[in-house]
């Protein structure tokens, strides 16, 4: 797990949403600790499944030779 700790940060330098949650004067200094969160179990399973859009055009005849296809697409521009 990665953690970032920033010490002696002025409250006035924090994002407005954070300042709104603190009951501290803007002149005070605080320590900010940012920790990495793990994905919930249902999201972890979802991220391991392949994206259905990956390889969407793999069966198209004109894209069998990708380099030739791209060259043909770019030919009108150059």
Per-residue 3-state assignment (H helix, E strand, C coil) for 8-69: EEEHHHCCHHHHHHCCCCCCCEEEEEEECCCCCHHHHHHHHCCCCCCCCCCCCHHHCCHHHH
Q: Burial code of 17-32, b = ≥16 C-beta within 10 A, e = fewer? A: eeeeeeeeeeeeebee
> What is the domain count for the chain?
1
Q: Is residue 62 part of a domain?
A: no
Domain that holds residue 26: 1-36
Q: How far apart, in whole angstroms, are the C-alpha atoms of residue 18 and residue 43? A: 27
Tens of pLDDT, residue by residue over 29-66, are: 999 999 988 776 665 556 667 777 777 777 888 888 88
pLDDT given for residue 57 in this prediction: 76
* Predicted local confidence at residue 29, as pLDDT: 95
Confidence of residue 7 (pLDDT cuts 50, 70, 90): very high
Residue 9 lies in a domain: yes
pTM: 0.45
């Amino acid at each position: 797990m990665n953690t970032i700790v920033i010490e002696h940060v002025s409250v006035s330098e924090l994002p407005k949403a954070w300042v709104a949650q603190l009951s501290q004067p803007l002149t005070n200094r605080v320590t900010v600790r940012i920790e990495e969160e793990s994905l919930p179990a249902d999201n972890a399973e979802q991220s391991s499944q392949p994206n259905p859009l990956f390889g969407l055009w793999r069966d198209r005849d004109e894209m069998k030779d990708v380099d030739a296809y791209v060259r043909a697409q770019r030919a009108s521009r150059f």
